Structure 1
Amino acid sequence: MTTHSLEAAPRGHGLTVADAMDPCDYHISDDSTVDQAVDILRSAHVEYLLVRDHNGRCEGLVTRAGLHPFLTRSWYTERTAISAVAHQRGPFAWPTLGLALAAIAMRVRRLTVWPVVDEAGYILGVLTAERATHLLAVTPT
């Protein structure tokens, strides 16, 4: 017979990604150009945009740092679709995933932001490593 002690459970063991995710107001279509993405990043003062496909499902995430080579603005950026640029792609987090496990996955994959999707792949929000770490640190065992 195996017994489990609460002391052996990881901190925040009852928290899920849904408890820690934030809404993401900035999305861009995968057929939008790099120029359009750069304009949104600059005007909204955000570090990332979620990329959605033509059906509205999450396709990935593009960051300001990932678009850094394109910030000089050339004819190339005017014609290059976001889908052709290297960016973070799935798998994505889902709301019922345990927060402690999600934090480990983010650390292993070196992610600071992870899109959260429903079972059909539609965007629900984002999980940030900072928020996950904070919630796990303040949640009693």
Structure 2
Amino acid sequence: MYTIYKCSPPISTRTKAILTINSFQKGGDGGGSSECDNQYHDDDTPVVALSTGWSNPESRCLKNITISCNGRINITISCNGRSVAVDECDSTMGCDSDHHYQPPCPNNIVDASKAVWKALGVPHSKWGGLDIVWSDA
């Protein structure tokens, strides 16, 4: 049994979260296609998935967010119609083929492709879990 979440902490101009790593490629550890556009995305494309409570399809799908870590590194994940900027990291379902048999996401996750980690300049040895803040761009 895993904890499931239908809500996330309130969103602000500096919403605290944990940045995790995920592959959005077909056959990658992310499982099924993107909730926002029903497609897979290469690991070299900046893609993020927000925990269910933060992932509002009407307001965040294919939109940009800004990520900051250590108060000094900032990037805006851009999509300009060619890539997914925000997807859903499901906090209510998991442990099935659609979710690559992974447990549900916690309620404070920004799940990011390798391209996002590279853009932030995080050393590869530190990839996996990082305290960040994010906001709508």
Give the TM-score, by structure 2 length: 0.24
Q: Which is greater in Rg?
A: 1
Give the TM-score, by structure 1 length: 0.24
**Structure with higher RCO (Cα < 8 A, 6+ apart):** 2
In terms of fraction of residues, the more helix-rich structure is 1
